Amino acid sequence: MTDIYSQQKRNKFVTILLMFSFFVFALIVGFAVDVYMNGGLRAISLPVFTAAAAVLAAVNGMVSYFYGAGIVLHSLGATALDFTNPKHKTLHNVVTEMCIASGMPMPKVYVIADPAPNAFAAGRNPQNASVGVTEGLLDIMSRDELQAVIAHELGHVKSRDILTMTFVTVLLGTVSLLSDWAIRAWRYGGVRTRRKSGIPALIMLFIGLFVLVSPIVSRIMAMAISRNREYQADVSSAEFTRNPGALASALSKISGVSSPLKGARRGTAHLFISDPLRRKIDDREGFVADILSTHPPIERRIERLQKMAYIYSRQVKK
């Protein structure tokens, strides 16, 4: 495991690389649509979709940086704390305690009115971070378990995972929108049959398929980024609380509830401590699971935390 500062530097680099990659990918999708719609390279008089992709990617990149967290919070139906509610008071106290333990500034705290236990973090940096939990999480967690979950989310904040993951959430919609535009254009406007460029029909078919599957490709990119970060945030939780067994217990309780989070979507699933859609693929290992799952298997995470708990207990006894 790398230290938190090395991870911060790495995440900054990954975020810049990711922003550039998504921008280029969006341009490729737009250009592919132009080629396919016009029947070849030479038939393109005005690259409308390429220009639209560039503008859309640039605008969405800026929006994701400055307003991404707000978009995510709104999409999830998150609301501010109600301090007349004892559970909300406890949550605020726990967040304050974990901020002190982790040396982090106080984030904005939100609650989602949903019985499925889960938690998430969003924002662009520790000074502009938001942490949210569901009512279901507050209902079933002990104080130690709640501390561990909040510490996990603050681990994402401190390592600056949140900018990358919030950025991914917004830009996933960019590629999906481009693909949707292409499908609608083909359906209602047709495709030119000219082949002045000499591009074989098979290649044109490949270009069309690439545009259609581009949302899936972009989502796989996002999932690959998400999985490894969960392990590191688990380690951060153990460091902040000195109680890895509490997070193991919390994850066990979360995995025991099969109902999905109602407001969650595929585009925001990677933000949560556990897959809010409750897909079986996240419980599996192997090549297919590594490609399609947003989180590593909870059983594996619990196993790692229990090993850490054993090491901590041995150190305390000494």
* Domain boundary assignment for the chain: 4-317
Nearest to 106 by CA among 85, 82, 123: 123
Beta bridge partners, 155, equal: none
Helices 161-189 and 143-158: crossing angle in degrees, nearest 10, is: 70
- Closest by CA to 294, choosing from 278, 282, 277, 280, is 282
What does the pLDDT look like over 97-156, one tens digit per residue? Answer: 999 999 999 999 999 999 999 999 988 889 999 999 999 999 999 999 999 999 999 999
Helices 201-241 and 143-158 cross at an angle (nearest 10°) of: 130
pTM: 0.77
More confident residue, 175 or 185: 175
Q: Report yes or no: 110 and 73 within 8 Å, Cβ to Cβ.
A: yes
Look-up of token digits 């998400």: 226
Query: Which of 273, 284, 240, 269 is CA-nearest to residue 136?
Result: 273
| pLDDT tens profile 187-237 | 665 555 444 445 556 665 666 676 677 777 766 766 666 666 888 899 899
Amino acid at 272: F
3 state SS for 162-191: HHHHHHHHHHHHHHHHHHHHHHHHHHHHCC
Report the pLDDT value the prediction gives residue 252, as an integer from 0 to 100: 95
In the predicted structure, residue 317 carries a pLDDT above the cut 90: no
* Cα distances (Å, whole numbers) of residue 229 to 22, 58, 195, 235: 19, 26, 47, 10
Catalytic residues: 153
Residue 310's alpha-carbon distances to 248, 255, 301, 304, in angstroms, are 12, 22, 14, 10
